[in-house]
Amino acid sequence: MLKTESQRTHLCTTCPIAKVADLVGDSCTLLIIRDLLKKPRRFGELTESLSGISSRTITKKLKYLEEQEIIVRTEFNERPPRVEYSLTKKGSGLKTLVKEMERYGKELGK
């Protein structure tokens, strides 16, 4: 992500690549999106999948993605309460990007 508001304002309005990089520019965010592309997930499922990343970091990334309308948080009226995260239409639009990154990453490993 870009460090200053000035960088963000300038680059993200003039360059579409900078705009996307600012949105999903860290591995934790991309891995959350990767998981949600497969199916909606509960917080515990995400923390299990992203082992080694603190629950605090995951919580911050989920809130950020929700603010950016990439994901939606759905609360179910159950006992115990259940919350599920899923991609919005805007978030699903990142599928091609994530798949291409996966393909490229596999090629790097060869």
Q: pLDDT: is 78 or 67 the higher one?
A: 67
Query: Has residue 13 got a pLDDT over 90?
Result: no
CATH match of 29-108 with 1.10.10.1100: no
DSSP secondary structure of 28-91:
HHHHHHHHHHHS-EEHHHHHHHTTTS-HHHHHHHHHHHHHTTSEEEEEE--SS-EEEEEE-HHH
pTM over 0.75: yes
Instruction: Give dist(CA 64, CA 70) in Å, integer.
Output: 9
CA atoms within 13 A on the CB side of 106: 5
**Domain layout of the chain by residue ranges:** 29-108
Q: What is the largest CA-CA distance in the chain?
A: 48
Task: Convert the pLDDT of each residue in 15-40 to its tens digit.
Answer: 777 777 777 778 889 999 999 999 99
Query: Has residue 3 got a pLDDT over 70?
Result: no
Instruction: Give dist(CA 33, CA 56) in Å, integer.
Output: 17
Instruction: Give dist(CA 4, CA 42) in Å, integer.
Output: 32
